[in-house]
Amino acid sequence: MIKYIGSKRALIPLILGVLDTIQRSGTEIRTALDPFTGSTRVAHSLKSRGIYVFAGDYLNFSYTLARALIAADARDYPPTLLNPILSELNALEGNPGWFTRIYSQEARFFQEKNARRIEAIRNYIEEHFSDSADLKAILLTSLILAADKVDSTTGVQMAYLKKWAPRSFNDLLLLYPPLLPGRGEAIWGDALHWVGQVEVDFAYIDPPYNSHSYLGNYHLWETLVLWDNPVVYGVARKRLDVRSKKSPFNSKRQAQEALKALLKNLRAKVTMVSFNNEGFLSLNQIVEMAKEMGFVVVIEKEHKRYIGSVIGVFNPKGEKVGEVSHTKNKEYLIVILQDSKVKRAIEERFVNVKAIQQSLF
Ligand SMILES: C[S@@+](CC[C@H](N)C(=O)[O-])C[C@H]1O[C@@H](n2cnc3c(N)ncnc32)[C@H](O)[C@@H]1O
């Protein structure tokens, strides 16, 4: 999976543990919704449990990842079918054009040898696989995963490193992506507009909680998927639409109303809201919204922060412009249930829960 700020990799065992408890208490979980799917990690772990998953995002690259890793059925795209295509792509000669110029010369996100090959492979996918949407998404996913392994950033694309990252010297290599057997759904668009159309057993809600735009942080992946030679600006050569395509969840003024509207529209037996103590909203504000929907349990986990905060804050020239404040934050899972028995089962299994509950209710 790609490096993704706010990715819930470290929380997946806890999320699955809570789901286990819910299932063992008699609530069946056959379908799930992840409308802010990002890297698709959580959706992927749910699908790997045999759950039918609807995964969505308003960014095109995340939708593309979901189309490959959640919607497509691995049995339709076995290694015997994909590996020869990937070998063909890996063997293409580099073909420098606008992508190479912008992202390896004007900005140094990739070594030129890799940017040229990314460009050649992307052009080839467009020319040869545009008539098969799933296969195209799978090949683009393989390309994004390969490019992510040779980029020269700290994990976000707001800036590139002054000194080339050691991994950027490696050669780009497309591999068979982590497809899973079984189908699912990928949905593109603003979750506020579509969540009400899907009815599920379990909804996992993980919107952005601060002003950092995911489009700004991952503009290269959006460009790689759209392949639209966009107008770019600034040292990081961001797409111009980073300035205009805004999510209400990135706005301090709008975030509370947006989350309220989203929760109100959900049609799920069990809902889990992911949240940390560094966002616009307080834990109490979210719990107040959750209480209107059912029984609420809050689970807390200390979480090591994004590595960028540990190594410091740097400008695009690599100069240190800020200090590290702290290296740990708290992650919360706010679970909303319709059955008090299930609530008690979760409280019994997860340490910490009782103490937090008492301070909140
Ligand atoms: C915190 S990240 C999700 C991380 C994900 N759970 C993971 O583990 O990778 C939030 C995601 O919400 C998406 N997003 C922001 N506003 C949105 C909206 N209005 N509708 C749908 N997706 C949105 C962002 O593009 C981003 O991928």
How much distance in Å is there from the Cα of 357 to the middle of ligand 1?
A: 27
Please identify, by atom number, the ligand 1 atom nearest to the C-alpha of residue 191: 20
β-strand pairing of 267-276 with 295-304: unpaired
Query: Nearest CA to 221 among 141, 113, 322?
Result: 141
May I ask the CATH class of domain 1-60+183-208+247-361? alpha beta
**pLDDT at 330 (0 to 100):** 87
Q: Are 27 and 4 in contact (CB under 8 A)?
A: no
Query: Nearest CA to 66 among 42, 92, 90, 96?
Result: 42
Residues with CB under 6 A from ligand 1: 4, 6-8, 35-39, 41-42, 57-59, 62, 190-192, 206-208, 214, 247, 249
Per-residue pLDDT of the chain (361 residues; tens, 9 = 90+): 999 998 888 899 999 999 999 999 999 999 999 999 999 999 999 999 999 999 999 999 999 999 999 999 999 999 999 999 999 999 999 999 999 999 999 999 999 999 999 999 999 999 999 999 999 999 999 999 999 999 999 999 999 999 999 999 999 999 999 999 999 999 999 999 999 999 999 999 999 999 889 999 999 999 999 999 999 999 999 999 999 999 999 999 999 999 999 999 999 999 999 998 888 999 999 999 999 999 999 998 886 655 554 455 555 555 555 555 556 788 999 999 999 999 999 988 886 655 565 556 5
Residue 104, Cβ density class (10 Å: 0-12 exposed, 13-18 middle, ≥19 buried): buried
Please identify, by atom number, the ligand 1 atom nearest to the C-alpha of residue 204: 6
Please identify, by atom number, the ligand 1 atom nearest to the C-alpha of residue 6: 1
Report the Cα 12 to chain-centroid distance in Å. 13
**pLDDT at 310 (0 to 100):** 46
**pLDDT at 302 (0 to 100):** 80
**pLDDT at 304 (0 to 100):** 67
Site to substitute for ligand 1 among 8, 9, 16, 36, most atoms within 8 A of C-beta: 36
How much distance in Å is there from the Cα of 344 to the middle of ligand 1?
A: 30
Please identify, by atom number, the ligand 1 atom nearest to the C-alpha of residue 258: 19
SS3 90: helix
Q: What is the residue extent of each domain of the chain?
A: 1-60+183-208+247-361, 78-178+213-246
**CA–CA dist 121, 177 (Å, integer):** 16
How much distance in Å is there from the Cα of 70 to the middle of ligand 1?
A: 16
For residue 83, the 8-state DSSP code is: H
Q: From residue 357, give the alpha-carbon distance in Å to each of 127, 271, 288, 347, 354.
A: 56, 17, 13, 9, 5
SS3 254: coil
Q: Are 325 and 313 in contact (CB under 8 A)?
A: no
| Cα angle 82, 87, 89; round to 5 | 95
**pLDDT at 215 (0 to 100):** 97
Nearest CA to ligand 1 atom 16: 247
How much distance in Å is there from the Cα of 212 to the middle of ligand 1?
A: 11
| Cα angle 1, 138, 203; round to 5 | 60
How much distance in Å is there from the Cα of 102 to the middle of ligand 1?
A: 26
Please identify, by atom number, the ligand 1 atom nearest to the C-alpha of residue 34: 6
**CA–CA dist 219, 147 (Å, integer):** 13
Residue 18, Cβ density class (10 Å: 0-12 exposed, 13-18 middle, ≥19 buried): buried
Quick: pLDDT tens for 76-97.
999 999 999 999 999 999 999 9
**pLDDT at 322 (0 to 100):** 59
**CA–CA dist 212, 279 (Å, integer):** 10
**CA–CA dist 311, 334 (Å, integer):** 30
How much distance in Å is there from the Cα of 113 to the middle of ligand 1?
A: 32
Quick: pLDDT tens for 117-133.
999 999 999 999 999 99
**CA–CA dist 320, 208 (Å, integer):** 26
Q: How many other CB atoms are found less than 10 A from the CB of residue 343?
A: 21
| Cα angle 8, 43, 349; round to 5 | 65
How much distance in Å is there from the Cα of 345 to the middle of ligand 1?
A: 30
SS3 245: coil
**pLDDT at 307 (0 to 100):** 52
